[in-house]
Amino acid sequence: MLRKTDIAYIAGLFDGEGCITYKKYRSKKTKNNKVRYYDCWRIVMEITMTDASVLRWIHLILGCGTLRKKPRPKHLTQWRWRCGFRDAYYVSRLLWPYAHTKLPKINQIIAHYKGKIMNDKVVKMVDYKKAMNLE
């Protein structure tokens, strides 16, 4: 069970150290000498830092995303936790009540998936607020 204090801490950490990409772009695909253009979405949430233990904890608590190590010569090793698309929606729903600086992007992700069929991880916002005593 996720605790409010854990989610609030992650939201604060995400507000300070996190990054959200919510972008629509044109992509080109060639097949059988025919070029086709289509719209793609890039929806990613990530936190990058040198403290691996914090990101391991976030990965464990949230239960989604990936954790990667990026060695950098002459610098401390950098770690990155990242999730995208439906996992980003799941995380956005969790962080929404506590986010401040990243709230506009979080709202964009939630609005993007509103009304679409999602995986079992996602809860209804009304049910979540009731469970967390936010109403």
SS (H, E, C) 65-111: CEEEEECCCCCCCEEEEEEECHHHHHHHHHHCCCCCCCHHHHHHHHH
* pTM listed for this prediction: 0.79
3-state secondary structure of 5: helix
What is the reported pLDDT for 118? 55
Query: All domains of the chain, ordered by start, with CATH?
Result: 4-131 (3.10.28.10)
- Give pLDDT tens digits along the chain (135 positions): 789 999 999 999 999 999 999 999 988 888 888 888 888 899 999 999 999 999 999 999 999 999 999 988 899 999 999 999 999 999 999 999 999 999 999 999 999 988 765 555 555 666 666 666 655
